[in-house]
Each structure stands twice: as C-alpha cells, then as structure tokens.
Chain A
Amino acid sequence: GQNIDQPTEMTATEGAIVQINCTYQTSGFNGLFWYQQHAGEAPTFLSYNVLDGLEEKGRFSSFLSRSKGYSYLLLKELQMKDSASYLCAVMDSNYQLIWGAGTKLIIKP
C-alpha cells in the first residue's frame, strides 16, 4: 500500500529552527509537495520537490532524497504565525496526491 509518515506534533520556540520530516512509500513518484494549514482553514502551497536536493524559499526550505523516500521541511526564524499543521503529499504514478496526516507545529514564545 501507499504510505506517508510524518510526526503527529512538534513544539519549537519562537526564533528557533525546526525540521519536519516526511517518509513515503508510494507506487511511483512524480514529486513531493508541502502545504501549510492553519486551524480551521484550507491548505496552502509551500513547496514542491521533484529532484534530489534542497529548495530554498525565504525562511522555508524543503529537501528531497528519492532513493531514501525522504523529505524534510525546514523552517527558520520561527514566528508565532508559523503555528499550523504542515502536510506532506506525494504525487504517485497516477498523478494523484497521497497525503500524510500532517504535523501540528506549536510555537512557544
């Protein structure tokens, strides 16, 4: 079966750095997405990786290793507004997104 694993919850301090990991086993791979979802709101797109390596976008970076079935989202200079759930999703061989359950990130002052 297809599976996306990410930690259920993480806690970090304002101003710090946090890394959210995602491992996947899917039938085929056509890219990996990270979305942010604030409580009670819709998911919004953060990043896309299809090749191995690091993609940097401001305070957020996303890394992919296809051989290891592994990705992480790195958030720097954490702000209180970064408190949200972070969803990892993989596009499979049928070009459908398989979603992880999300990681709830709690930022403390």
Chain B
Amino acid sequence: IAGITQAPTSQILAAGRRMTLRCTQDMRHNAMYWYRQDLGLGLRLIHYSNTAGTTGKGEVPDGYSVSRANTDDFPLTLASAVPSQTSVYFCASSDQAGGQETQYFGPGTRLLVL
C-alpha cells in the first residue's frame, strides 16, 4: 500500500450501534488526524495525534474516541452512533504536527446513521 487507506469505504449503521473506522498510513508520519466533512461546512477536526501514544481533542470530539497504539494506525470509534454523525470521514497524516507540514488525506468513509 502507498499513502493512507481507510476502511470501510461506506457504511450504513443503525443508531445506537458501535462502529470503528479504520485508518492506516505507510509513510511513517508522526501526526494523524480525523475530520468530518458535511455539506456546506468546512472540514472539522474530531481528534488528532501528534505522535504514537498521544491523542488530543479537536473541534467536535463528542461521541468519538481514538487510540494511537503505533505509528501506522489511528482508528476512530463511535461508541453509540446517532443520526447527526452521518457524514464523510477523512483520515489524514503529516510528517510532523504544525508549521508548514502538508496533510495527506485518505479516500474517506461515507457513513449513514439511520
């Protein structure tokens, strides 16, 4: 693989169910991010990780959790999905956090919560 992969590509989920979105990068980037993108709104940061073993909350963290056990993987978990979590979810990574570091994005996961 090259770059960032996300799984699944799309998912329909019943409200109240638990769901984990997977993200893997093979660029050995230190920093990783989870965003959601909704029509008419800019990308909004959910959670981030500046390096393996550390995580932080972004602009819209409620209802989501993350872990960063190693450099490559950064899963996002919805503990109990609600319809307002219907969105397109993008995982991104950068070599380092901050400054002029370009963020590279995965292909996204389209989630519909009913």
Residues of A within 8 A of B (CB): 4, 30-31, 33, 41-45, 48, 50, 87, 89, 91, 95-102
Contact = CB atoms under 8 A, between A and B. Distances in A.
Chain B interface extent, by class: 20 to 34
A41 B107 contact: yes
Given A87-B43, A95-B98, 13 more contacts: A4-B42, A30-B98, A42-B105, A44-B105, A91-B98, A91-B99, A95-B97, A96-B45, A97-B43, A98-B42, A99-B44, A101-B41, A102-B42
Interface string B79-97: 0000000000010000001
Interface of B: 35, 40-45, 48, 58-59, 90, 97-100, 102-108
A101 to B, nearest CB: 5
A87 to B, nearest CB: 7
A48 B105 contact: no
A1 to B, nearest CB: 11
A99 B90 contact: no
Given A42-B90, A42-B105, A44-B105, A100 B98 contact: no
Nearest to A4: B42
A103 B102 CA distance: 20
A43 B90 contact: yes
Contact of A99 (B43, B100, B104): B43
B96 to A, nearest CB: 10
A87 B103 contact: no
A31 B99 contact: yes
